[in-house]
Every structure is written in structure tokens, then in C-alpha cells.
Amino acid sequence: MSISMLKKLTTVGLLFALTFAAAIYAAKVQNLYQVTMSVASQAESERVKAIQQGLGQVLVKLSGDPAIIENEHIETALDQAGDFVEQYTYLTPAETAPRFQIQIHFFQDAIDKLLKDAGVTAWGENRPSIALWLLDKTLPGASVITTDKQPAELLGIIHRQENLYGLLLVLPKMDRDDQVVVRVQDVQLMRMPVLKEAAKRYNADVLLAGTIEKYKQEFRSRWRLQMGDAQWSWTIDGKNKERIMTQLFDRLSLTLAKHYVTAAGEPASQSLKLIVSNVNKPDDVLHLLRYLKQSASLQQVEVTQMSHGKVELSAKVKNSIEAFQQQTAGDRRMFLKSQDGQEKLLYEWVQ
């Protein structure tokens, strides 16, 4: 193989790594300031009620806190919900759905100011993707919910909750590639190391495993959430699956928001440029990104440039750059070579 051909293949490989890396850190939720509500008619009373409920939904999405509507400042704003509406549109109902739908867009600046005045920090559009391994034991044969074969009812509930909270869930395919790594029993017993290994192909930031089964006259579900080394476990009972999923997403949203959103009053994140040398292969880029992703000091990392074995990254640092430097001091995988100014650090990646 000629040197020129090898260079071309290497370039293609690095471009693939960049694309893959972007997918890890570019999970963006769209339409955070927009909702679509069902209404019985186009009467003003129905519209006013929908706008008030819609504003509440937007505030929950932006804060991650289901109880935000109980905030005294927010309660007052909900009484004047119409003041926050940028525009609304009625959607023509389908034959199978006789109720009208109203799509409402709220003013972003006004909503952000409302949250700030209430002492709440908004959760932006960059959010973690969540790999969901869910075993529904109420189905014949106890099936893992997948993208290709799933009960429409439960999948519809999951998608509604996703939209309500602005979360991003990824369901497994359970195809041959998945079945080489994970079995139904692994999901039932919530073997997180196995599920984490199987979920790598989906580039998820967070791992969620669960089971649902009949319990007396109700349903019982068990859940385990894993972010890095931290885990949370919940048992949720309910009369139906919709109630269970509602309670699950309440806890899931609140837990993730506490982890990913900087609390009001804390120092804002700082921008940081990292230049890391000795990154020569596409796999090196992926390993570096996954390594940085585990850092408690970094909120966001994106590859901006690659050339001659060096990777340039743009990052957001919690609290201070000094705290990040202290965390990486003595690190065996990243060695600090030099510092160029206050916001540019040069490291060497140790293989």
C-alpha cells in the first residue's frame, strides 16, 4: 500500500472518529420552548388552559424538576402564562384523533429570565443520552423492549415522557451484535457491567435498566440508573404502566438535572482549550474522549481540530480551570506539558 493511500485511509478514519466523537457530546434536545397540547375545541377558554399547562411543561423540561410549578415565583407567572407566548397554531385533527391540537411557542428570553428570577438555572439543549434496557415480564416470553419489536402502548408512553421532560432515550436493537454480549437474564438481574459493555455501540452517556411485572392487582417495576461510578435504585408500583413511567421519569429527570445542571448561585462554567499530543489513531481519539467524559470537572467536550498526532478540544469546565488542573495532576493517562495563558492547556496522551 502506498504512503499516499495510507494517509487517505488514516484521514478517513480520523474523520470517522470526529463524527463519532461529535455524536457522543452533541445529543441535543430540540424545541425546549415549544409544546403541543390537545384541546377539545378552539374556544378561548380551552386555549388559555392549554397555554397555562404548556408553560408548566416547558418549565419542567428546562429545570428537570417536576415540582418547579410549586415555586412561589413560578405560580405567579403561571397566572399570566399568556404573556410568555410568542405564537400559537392550531393543528388540523386527524380522522382517528377528533381532538384539536395547539402548538405553542414561548419567548425564550422571557422564560430564561423567569427561571433566573425564581433562582433556577435552565438546563440547556445539550443533554445526556440514556441507554434503556427494559424487560417487560408481562409480555409473552418476557421481552426486552427494542427499537424493532415492541408493544406500541409502552413505547408510546416512553416517547410521551421523553417529550415531556426533554430527555433522550436509546433502546437496544437486541440483534445478533447485542445478543453476543447481553442476554435477557442480564437485563432481568440488572448486571450493569454487562449492559454497559453492550450499550457502547449506542454511544450513551447514562445507563438505565428496569423490569416490569404484574404484582397482585397492580404492576411493580424495579430500576437501576448508572452515571459513571454512581448508581441509584428505585422500586415503583402503580395501577398501570403509564403511572409507573410517569413516576420513573420524575425521578430520572430530577436526578440527571442535579448532576448536569449547575445550581443557581454557583460559579458559571469556564471555557477551556485543550491540545493533546500523541493521539495518532482513530481509536486513540475515542479512548481520549471517553476518558475525558469521566472527569467530574468537565461539562462538555468537543473536538475542534486534528492534525499531526494532535487533537484540539473545546471544553466547558465546572467552577474553575485550576480545579481541573488539580484533578489531572499526577494523572497517568494525561501528562501536562505546558500552559499557554489562562485558558489553554497542552497535554500528552499516554498510551
232 has a pLDDT exceeding 90? yes
Cell of 71: 415555586
Cell of 159: 416517547
Confidence bin at 268 (pLDDT 50/70/90): low
pLDDT at 14: 43
185-230 residue pLDDT tens: 999 999 999 999 999 888 888 999 999 998 888 999 999 999 888 8
Please, which residues have CB within 8 angstroms of residue 325's CB and are 6 or more apart in sequence?
A: 336, 345
129 has a pLDDT exceeding 50? yes
Confidence bin at 79 (pLDDT 50/70/90): very high
What 8-state DSSP symbol labels residue 334? E
Domain with CATH 3.40.50 in the chain: 129-260
Choose among 241, 244, 210: nearest CA to 225.
210
Beta strand spans in 42-111 (E): 85-91, 100-106
Confidence bin at 11 (pLDDT 50/70/90): very low
Confidence bin at 283 (pLDDT 50/70/90): confident
Choose among 266, 260, 255: nearest CA to 300.
260
Give the residue with greater pLDDT, 175 vs 55: 55
CA distances from 214 to 208, 228, 243, 246, 251 (A): 20, 31, 14, 17, 22
Residue 53: exposure state from Cβ atoms within 10 A (0-12, 13-18, ≥19): middle
Cβ–Cβ < 8 Å for 100, 36: no
What is the DSSP code string of 314-328?
EEEESS-HHHHHHHH
pLDDT at 270: 75
CATH of domain 129-260: 3.40.50
What value, to the nearest 5°, has the Cα angle with vertex 227 and ends 257 and 22?
85
For residue 156, the SS3 value is helix
d(C-alpha 79, C-alpha 77), whole Å: 5
4 has a pLDDT exceeding 60? no
Half-sphere exposure of 97 (CA within 13 A, CB side): 10
133-157 residue pLDDT tens: 999 998 877 788 887 756 678 888 9
Tracing cell 493517562 back to the chain, one arrives at 333
Beta strand spans in 54-205 (E): 85-91, 100-106, 129-136, 143-144, 168-170
Cβ–Cβ < 8 Å for 168, 130: yes
Please, which residues have CB within 8 angstroms of residue 345's CB and are 6 or more apart in sequence?
A: 272, 273, 274, 275, 321, 325, 336, 339
For residue 38, the SS3 value is strand
Give the residue with greater pLDDT, 350 vs 7: 350
Beta strand spans in 198-343 (E): 206-215, 218-227, 230-238, 270-277, 298-307, 310-317, 334-339
Cβ–Cβ < 8 Å for 257, 206: no
d(C-alpha 192, C-alpha 179), whole Å: 15
Confidence bin at 296 (pLDDT 50/70/90): low
